[in-house]
Each structure stands twice: as structure tokens, then as C-alpha cells.
A = this chain, B = another copy of it.
């Protein structure tokens, strides 16, 4: 199971790399349909490109996955994202009824576990820290470059 998580997280990390190359905070996301084990959405953060504060990787992936399956619930999917989701994205995961969330790096400032006090955990199985080092390192490199 952990090997599967790393496999999909690595694809999310590739998406984050795309974001990095476009000058976006490097966060990537994939949504996997559990019955088929197929990826039904891939996305990366596009806040700067679209000048849209709602264009986080997870929001784009959820909209895209729902368009793909033609339904508003993703209740047999797993969402992989390289950074612990924020309040907005946690809410979107909640509304989409996504039962499994796997994230890479922890976000101690805006991450859901600190903000929502376990709201999601009532109905979402959450696993953090998959490829944590790589996910975190990409974000740190981005901000280091930005400052210099």
C-alpha cells in the first residue's frame, strides 16, 4: 500500500515541478479512482498564472475529476497532494466526499490538521508524510530562489 502511495505521490511531485517551472508555489495533485486504480485528474497550483486565489492544485483537480466522471462526488477516490491541504481545499475534499487523502509535506501554518481541528478526520482517512522530504524540499527551493 505504501509503495502505491509513493508511486502516485511521485506523479503529484512531477505536477509540482511543472508549477515550479511556471513560477508558481510548487504544489501538485493527482486523484486516483480506487476501483480501477486509474488517475482521473492531475493538476498543479495556478494561482499566479490565473491570478485566482482559488486555483489551488486540489480545487483544480477536484473540478477536473468531477468533469471527467460527470458527477459531483468522488466517493471512491484517493486524492494525493504534495502539501497538506489548506482550509479551502479541506472544505472542497469534504464536499466532494473524497474518502482518502494522502499528502506529502506538512504545512504547520495553513495545514488542515491545525486549522480544522479534525473536522475532516471524521469522514476522511488522512495519511501525511509520503515522500515528505522531496515534497518539502521543492517548496523550500522555490522560496529560497524567490528571496534571492
Interface residues of A (CB under 8 A from B): 47-48, 51-55, 59, 62-63, 66-67, 70-73, 86-92, 94-97, 115-117, 119
CB proximity of A24 to chain B, nearest CB, Å: 12
- Can you identify 28 A-B contacts, CB atoms within 8 angstroms? A47-B72, A48-B72, A51-B66, A51-B70, A51-B71, A52-B63, A52-B67, A52-B72, A53-B62, A53-B66, A53-B72, A53-B92, A53-B95, A54-B59, A86-B91, A86-B95, A87-B90, A87-B91, A87-B94, A87-B119, A88-B89, A88-B91, A88-B92, A88-B94, A88-B95, A89-B91, A90-B91, A117-B117
Q: What's the Cα separation between A86 and B116 when bound, in Å?
A: 12
Contacts of A47 in B (CB 8 A): 72
Q: Which of A52, A53, A59, A116 counts the most B-chain CB atoms under 10 A from its CB?
A: A53
Q: What's the Cα separation between A66 and B55 when bound, in Å?
A: 11
A-B pairs with the 9 shortest C-beta distances? A88-B91, A87-B91, A53-B95, A53-B96, A51-B72, A53-B72, A88-B92, A54-B92, A52-B66
Q: What's the Cα separation between A60 and B68 when bound, in Å?
A: 20
Contacts of A73 in B (CB 8 A): 53
Contacts of A89 in B (CB 8 A): 88, 91
